[in-house]
Amino acid sequence: MYLERTERLRTGDVVAQSIRALDGTVLLAEGTRLDERLISTLVRRGIPAVQLRDGLADDIVPERVVSDETRSRTAVSLKRVISGLQQRTLAATTDDAASPTGVEETARRLGDRPLPLSEQEQRDLEGLQRGIESIVDEILDGGAIGSLTSLKSHSDYTFQHSVDVAITSTLLAHLIGLPRAELRTLALGAALHDLGKTYIDLTILDKPGALDPEERREIERHPRLGFELVKRLPLPSILPAHIALQHHERQDGTGYPNGLDGTNAVMRSTAERLDRQRMLLVAEICAVADVHSALSSDRPYRPGMPPERVQAILEDMAGPHLNTEIVTLFLAGVPLYTAGTWVELAGGSADGWRGVVVTSRSSSLDRPVVRVLVGPDGRVARRPEELDLEHHPEILIRGLPPGDPLPERSMEPASN
């Protein structure tokens, strides 16, 4: 199977993996043959890409660090919590909430006490905490092998992005060695990190080009607004609110909203721990996970970046922006290419060939086993071979963006 951009779908294409709405209901079942009507439905719903059968690697199931079931359950609870909160608090948010005084005014209107939740809202919040618990369980049980991102549909992007950030943050904190209770607090904060964003106009959030200064100010209010809301939720810790507040701060002090800074290290002295100018470790972890998710996700206006491009950008951002030690741990602990990823090989006997990752291993993170399928001339191998790149150091590998593996959709068998 391979991932195809929705705008390139054709009548007759067969769906390889069911497409689900956020609540888990199946929009298109696996095996559905697409027609004009179904394709326009996918376009209308803003689904950026679809897994299609190609008759080549349909048996390779993409690995995920956390099951789709847990992802979907957590995303639904999160959406319920956020929608409930929005109805309750919209009246309190001022029109001028983009300015710091506007956020302060909103906070004043919300009052000092925890928000009084209805029974339903309380149940939704408990549902979210159960979802978080499952994420932590699955990561502690399963380790780091598998994809960290999910397929996202447009209108639900913020919720699915938030769940991805919760998963990646938990995995990072586990790699760092934080205890279970901290993983739970961090995952909850990461799930709620962009709560303030759900109060911002979608036309600004999804704008593909550069933002004007006013739009930028509008976006930059979301950490403060998120902080004011999360701290009024009946949660066992204040840390999730601080994660929402600090996730856009940077190591060199140029982030927002408070220009906090960091020392690019995981360990910190007691003095640093008490320093109010210093970013919290949990917020630094969330910042790395946030950037990783944003770069690797498919959006309606651009496909997700291939893994080595994401890696290069994370490496560039380590130091001035992201905590270097956390980025290093991440790149050293998470496989670059996971099962189901289409890749292109260069060098040796496989020069110019394309194929699909069959397995990735924690022992050799950037050298997976690849089933070699499509030749440099676009022809498909008659008897595909599996190459273990660990044993072929001369072969280079790079990820392919959606739709690239078979540019001509040439399915003619090659003569080899």
Query: What is the β-pairing status of strands 49-52 and 26-28?
Result: unpaired
* First-last CA distance in the chain: 22
Q: Which is nearer to Fe ion, 121 or 290 (CB)?
A: 290
Instruction: Report the C-alpha gap between 70 and 72 in whole angstroms.
Output: 5
Chain residues that interact with Fe ion, rule: CB under 5 A: 194, 290
Q: Which is nearer to Fe ion, 171 or 369 (CB)?
A: 171
Contact 374, 405 (CB under 8 A): yes
Q: CB 307 → Fe ion: shortest distance, Å?
A: 20
Instruction: Report the C-alpha gap between 305 and 133 in whole angstroms.
Output: 30
Residue 414's identity, in one-letter code, is A
Q: CB 191 → Fe ion: shortest distance, Å?
A: 11
Please, which residues have CB within 8 angstroms of residue 119's CB and are 6 or more apart in sequence? none
Q: CB 244 → Fe ion: shortest distance, Å?
A: 8
Q: Which is nearer to Fe ion, 163 or 380 (CB)?
A: 163
Q: CB 87 → Fe ion: shortest distance, Å?
A: 22
Please, which residues have CB within 8 angstroms of residue 116's CB and are 6 or more apart in sequence? none
Q: Which is nearer to Fe ion, 242 or 367 (CB)?
A: 242
Q: Which is nearer to Fe ion, 198 or 360 (CB)?
A: 198
Q: Other CB atoms closer than 10 Å to residue 146's CB: what's the count? A: 21
How far from 249 is each of 58, 243, 285, 318, 320, CA to CA, in Å? 43, 10, 11, 13, 11
Q: Which is nearer to Fe ion, 70 or 169 (CB)?
A: 169
Instruction: Report the C-alpha gap between 112 and 226 in whole angstroms.
Output: 15
Q: CB 78 → Fe ion: shortest distance, Å?
A: 13
Q: CB 132 → Fe ion: shortest distance, Å?
A: 17
